[in-house]
Amino acid sequence: MEKLTFDYPASGEKPKRAHVGVVGSGDLEILLEPSVDERAHVTIQTSVTGFADTWKAVLDRFFAGYKEAASFDIRDCGATPGTVAMRLQQAIEVSRS
């Protein structure tokens, strides 16, 4: 298991909390909450070590379009970057619904 943290600037409002996904094979769980400060924070616990660069690439792309001051608590069980991107999108959808 590997733990990673990322930080992104935020300019938007604080989101409502949302919970999506499951820590099952090839999937991940995301807990989305309003951030404690004016930045976006991501903490990741992943079962697969050595993919920090891939996580950064997926998150860089995601936070290029997402500016809310959110805290993402991600628990990953070997999801592909595509699955991660879709779960992030789903978390936003649930948060806004």
Partner 1 sequence: MTTATQLPEEVLALSARRSYIELNARARATQLLDPGTFRELLGPFDRIESPWLPMQGIVPQSDDGCVVAKGTIDGKPALAIALEGKFQGGSIGEVCGMKMAAALALARQDCECGISTGAVLSLESGGVRLQEANIGELVIAEIYAELIALRQHVPVIVVVAGMTGCFGGMSLAAGLASYVVMTRQARLSMNGPEVIEQEAGIEELDARDRPLIWNICGGAQRYATGLADMLVEDDAAEIAQAVRTLFKKGRPAILRSDPQELYVERLKQLDPAQPWTAEQIRESWKERAR
Part of the chain binding partner 1 (CB under 8 A), chosen from 14-22, 35-43, 61-69, 84-92: 14-22
- Using the rule CB under 8 A, is 77 a contact of partner 1? yes
CB of 78 to partner 1, least distance (A): 9
Site for partner 1 in 23-42 (CB under 8 A): 23-25, 27, 29, 31, 33
Query: What burial class does residue 83 get, using C-beta atoms within 10 Å of its C-beta: 0-12 exposed, 13-18 middle, 19+ buried?
Result: middle
Q: Which residues of 11-41 are buried (b: 16+ CB within 10 A; e: fewer)?
A: eeeebeebebbeeeeebbbbbbbebeeeebb
Q: Which of 61/96 has CB closer to partner 1? A: 96
Summarize as ranges the residues that interact with partner 1 (CB under 8 A): 1, 17, 19, 22-25, 27, 29, 31, 33, 45-47, 73, 75-77
